[in-house]
Amino acid sequence: MASTKFALLGCAVVLVVSSGCPGSATGGVSIRPDGSPGPQPCPEKSREVMNYLRLFVGESAWVQLDANQTRARPITLYDGNIESVLDENLGLLEAPARLYGRVWTGGPQVVIRYHAAQPMNGGDLVPLCAVARLGFGQLRKHPESKPGTAIIDSPRAGVYIVDEFR
């Protein structure tokens, strides 16, 4: 039994690494003059998995942006990796689930790109491509945000499935 779990874990790691998620997919992103990330393709393997799980472009759900700051107001986000919590089902991905991605705070508003999800029911790591969005400029940084950080009002945002990062 333990060897089966170890084999499944190994397969999940290989799948994630081969799809470019989450580490290598965030490494070579170009930065725009305003400090926000440039375009980035969604790996083919991620698109295949999303199609299988009925995670189609435009599918959305609510997410707690930072698993360590749920329901706090305001929250501070930092450049680098982030772990979020899915509040609603997204396609066949059941909530709650962890979403893993990267935060950029260099532009006028926070940019969060997600590259993987971890179902909390014991499922394997799932490669995906999604972004955090919130209308009315609510992901805009407070002026007192220090370099490398972003203070924002809402601890929640919508997470949207995309086929590439723009």
> What type of residue sits at position 136?
F
Q: Indicate if the pLDDT at residue 16 is higher than 80.
A: no
Burial tier of 22 (Cβ tally within 10 Å: 0-12, 13-18, 19+): buried
What integer pLDDT is reported at residue 27 of this predicted model? 61
Residues 88-145 pLDDT 10s: 999 999 999 999 999 999 999 999 999 999 999 888 899 999 999 998 888 999 999 9
For the record, the structure tokens of 58 come out as 């435009």
Q: Indicate if the pLDDT at residue 24 is higher than 70.
A: no
**2-165 has which fold?**
Lipocalin (2.40.128)
Distance between CA 155 and CA 15 in Å, rounded?
31
What integer pLDDT is reported at residue 136 of this predicted model? 82
Distance between CA 138 and CA 9 in Å, rounded?
38
Residues 43-93 pLDDT 10s: 999 999 999 998 999 999 999 999 999 878 999 999 999 999 999 999 999
